[in-house]
Structure 1
Amino acid sequence: MFWLRNIKIHLFWKIYWFTLLCLVLYNEYLVHLFHSWQWSQIECLTDRCVRILLVADAQILGNTFDTKLYWPLANYDSDRQLAITYRRALQHAAPDVICFLGDLMDEGSMATTDQYEEYFQRFSKIFIQPEARTSMIYIPGDNDIAGEGSELVKEDSVERFRRYFQGQSLWMLPQGTTFYNVNRISKLMPEKYGNSNGSELFSIVLSHISLLKQTDDYSIQTVKAIQPDVIFSAHDHNSKFAVIRQDELGKNSLFVALNTKRKNRHDIHSFNLIELRRNDQLLEISVPTCSYRMGVMKIGYGFAVLDGDTLQYTILWTSQRFYQLALYSLLIIPLKLVCGQIWCNLLKRYWCWRCRRNRNYLPLHSN
């Protein structure tokens, strides 16, 4: 019967290792391929086409907040997932411009000079520039320069971000589109460039924190000064949008979830910017986070195409990493049990050896 038990154990480990191998293959490769196959493609129809990839709240992890023993592994896994999904998004979108909507680093505002240099090198390796012609636009978030809630903006952090990421107040593309860096945190406002009343000129505002949600004097002044055709924001980590009239700016806008349900998660939404402009309407799209470490289950990248007078937009949803990590945790239980048994046996043998070594023998006869 002993040999039968050995055969059963051997068969169990064969099945176990095969299952673990299949799970690793799926989690680390096939799942990304599966998600990218479902992404909607947007084709250009005119010669004034601008393809835009939107990256929100990447927040690469630092070395200070997380003091657990496994923090190097957590940082490595987060960086690796961001790199894999970002490259998939690049291949699909083939963007002319890539917009990073703030919170590039989790500890950017409080990092030392050496730490910031390390974080910047990690960020640059993850989010590469695909081609020399691709415009890379970076705007800061509260994790980059502070300023959330009652926290004061750190001027040295603002200057450091501008120096490392070549921060600007606006970017002009050859297709006639101007991107504005609007910073609701520091209350800085870029000056309006040219006149965008023509149908071939559009103004796009990039703001880390929403301008239409809980509007204040700064939001109203910014909208009136720039007259944006579309606003892209982040910070809330969720996918949603709002369309309101300019005379209703003082009110809190009602945002509607965008592509969050399973049946419409890959829909393409079209907005006629000229029609919105004629009706004095403002469009703001909040882009979801691309990092699974932000505590939300729906993560991805925004993909927009400004083609003629029409803006088309969809979400490139990526895999839910927490589910994959949970499966890994379940599958390593047998390995934990085996390791525990080995350690128990080693400790037992060591204890018995020490007991035999320290045993005092009494003489059989005494004189």
Structure 2
Amino acid sequence: MYLRRSTTVKYVLAAVLGAVIYCEWFIYLVEQQYWVDLECQDHDTSCTKILFIADPQIQGDEAVPPPLSYIFNWDSDRYLRSTFKSVVDYFKPDILVYLGDLMDEGSIATMPQFHGYAKRLANIFDWDFPAVQVWLPGDNDIGGENEPIRRDKVEEFEKVFVQPSIVTYSNVSIYKVNAITYTFPQKADEVPGTDNNFKIVASHYPVTMRTMFSKKIINAINPKIFFCAHDHESKYVKQNKDLTHRVTTWFNIPKSTLTITFNDDTLYEIYVPTCSYRMGTNYIGYGAAVLENNQKHLRYTVFWSPQRFPFLFFYLAILVILFLYCLVFCIAKLIYRKSKPIAKSADMSPLLERL
């Protein structure tokens, strides 16, 4: 009864409820106020909106033992689902490009685990409007960074995320380049009649820093721009078509937009930041690009996501405070009961002595 009547507890519970509402719902609405309005012009029928999702790396079954793994996986999945929904509802892209490292333990998972992770991804990245999907593998999906490439995972990834190596929408073609296995689409993979499409190379690993490999791609595909992930950082590289004079620029200022006018001399590679709060960076978000004016111009920005760890630490602090409060209250109540004098009746002598 005391706990229910306690003003302190009522205030604490009200604060916890308010914090949960803010951290789990309202914060995603607030974050939108810091996003760029990246919309197509009404008169531009050629405009195409592309959303880039990089390094979600959903946590696997082996990193943390149960039951903590259930809590950690649930929270990270829910965060990705909430931020993704907020972005797609705001931007409504025509193309969704997943730039690899979809799973944290895909390369070491059993096939049942691999399929379970794929189902979680389908549940996280779900939307309710027409859009084209492009799925690429990362080193955490198929191996290749600190471990050998798992050929069985390469084949399984292609079966689960089955689609051609060139994905076309309207007059835009996304070329799926794998800089892990050093493979890329060939001329025979192109759909007839798409030679004049705007060509984008999408890869998990950065491509242009691999000079010989990127020159093969430029000669075979002649892309207008490269998009990559892996580094968990938001930046872009500007260089000449011969891959000289390479200049890297960080791109992590809120409400900033990169505007590119394409020409024959300059080549860009854009690094999309991670969308997962578990990657050890405060700059978390989704890359977004708008191709307009008959694909002559591109505007790119990042829809930044709110940080998660400060809110998790806040929840932990609230739980510790509540635990300590209850502990102190129980101890105080126990001491009070022990110190309270016992009321004695007028005659405490045994019954037999009083007869």
Q: TM-score, normalised by structure 2?
A: 0.85
Please state whether the residue corresponding to 2:107 is helix, strand or coil: coil
CA distance in 1, matches of 2:271, 2:193: 26
Asked if the contact 1:202–1:229 (Cα under 8 Å) also holds between the matched residues in 2, the reply is: yes
Asked if the contact 1:129–1:136 (Cα under 8 Å) also holds between the matched residues in 2, the reply is: no
One-letter code of the match for 1:94?
K
Deviations 1:255-310 (A, max 9, x none): 2111x23xxx112221112x2xx22x211110010110111111010111111211
Please state whether the residue corresponding to 1:171 is helix, strand or coil: strand
Please state whether the residue corresponding to 1:188 is helix, strand or coil: coil
Deviations 1:57-115 (A, max 9, x none): 01111101223641110100000010011011111111111000001111111111221
* Closer, same or farther: CA 197–243 of 1 in aligned 2, 3 Å: farther
The answer to whether 1:318 aligns with 2:305 is: yes
The answer to whether 1:255 aligns with 2:248 is: yes
- The residue number in structure 1 matching 2:184 is 189
User: 1:200-239 to 2 correspondence within 5 Å?
Assistant: 201-213=197-209, 215-239=210-234
Asked if the contact 1:40–1:267 (Cα under 8 Å) also holds between the matched residues in 2, the reply is: yes
- The residue number in structure 1 matching 2:132 is 135
- The residue number in structure 1 matching 2:349 is none
Please state whether the residue corresponding to 1:247 is helix, strand or coil: coil
Q: 1:315, CA displacement in angstroms? A: 0.7
- The residue number in structure 2 matching 1:102 is 100
Please state whether the residue corresponding to 1:337 is helix, strand or coil: helix
Counterpart selection for 2:154 from 130, 155, 158? 158
Q: Which runs of 5+ in 2 are unaligned?
A: 336-355
- The residue number in structure 2 matching 1:364 is none
Asked if the contact 1:139–1:167 (Cα under 8 Å) also holds between the matched residues in 2, the reply is: no
One-letter code of the match for 1:71?
S
Counterpart selection for 1:148 from 141, 145, 149? 145
CA distance in 2, matches of 1:67, 1:344: 34
- The residue number in structure 1 matching 2:267 is 282
Q: 1:130, CA displacement in angstroms? A: 2.9
Please state whether the residue corresponding to 1:319 is helix, strand or coil: coil
Q: 1:197, CA displacement in angstroms? A: 7.9
Identity of matched residues, %: 34
CA distance in 2, matches of 1:123, 1:248: 36
CA distance in 2, matches of 1:117, 1:197: 36
Asked if the contact 1:196–1:203 (Cα under 8 Å) also holds between the matched residues in 2, the reply is: no
CA distance in 2, matches of 1:124, 1:315: 23
Q: 1:333, CA displacement in angstroms? A: 1.5
CA distance in 2, matches of 1:53, 1:179: 12
One-letter code of the match for 2:204?
H
Counterpart selection for 2:23 from 17, 23, 27? 27
Please state whether the residue corresponding to 2:154 is helix, strand or coil: helix
Q: 1:340, CA displacement in angstroms? A: 4.8
- The residue number in structure 2 matching 1:362 is none
- The residue number in structure 2 matching 1:63 is 61
Q: Which runs of 5+ in 1 are unaligned?
A: 1-5, 349-367
One-letter code of the match for 1:255?
T
One-letter code of the match for 2:19?
L
- The residue number in structure 2 matching 1:360 is none
User: 1:169-188 to 2 correspondence within 5 Å?
Assistant: 169-174=165-170, 176-188=171-183
More moved, 161-170 vs 77-86 = 161-170
- The residue number in structure 2 matching 1:269 is 258
* Closer, same or farther: CA 96–16 of 1 in aligned 2, 3 Å: same
CA distance in 2, matches of 1:205, 1:18: 51
The count of aligned residue pairs is 326
CA distance in 1, matches of 2:282, 2:141: 23
One-letter code of the match for 1:148?
E
More moved, 104-113 vs 40-49 = 40-49
One-letter code of the match for 1:111?
A
Please state whether the residue corresponding to 2:6 is helix, strand or coil: helix
One-letter code of the match for 1:74?
F
* Closer, same or farther: CA 342–224 of 1 in aligned 2, 3 Å: farther
Asked if the contact 1:184–1:219 (Cα under 8 Å) also holds between the matched residues in 2, the reply is: no
Cα RMSD of the aligned pairs, angstroms, is: 2.5
More moved, 49-58 vs 162-171 = 162-171
Please state whether the residue corresponding to 2:39 is helix, strand or coil: coil
- The residue number in structure 2 matching 1:330 is 317
Asked if the contact 1:181–1:207 (Cα under 8 Å) also holds between the matched residues in 2, the reply is: yes
Counterpart selection for 2:88 from 68, 87, 90? 90
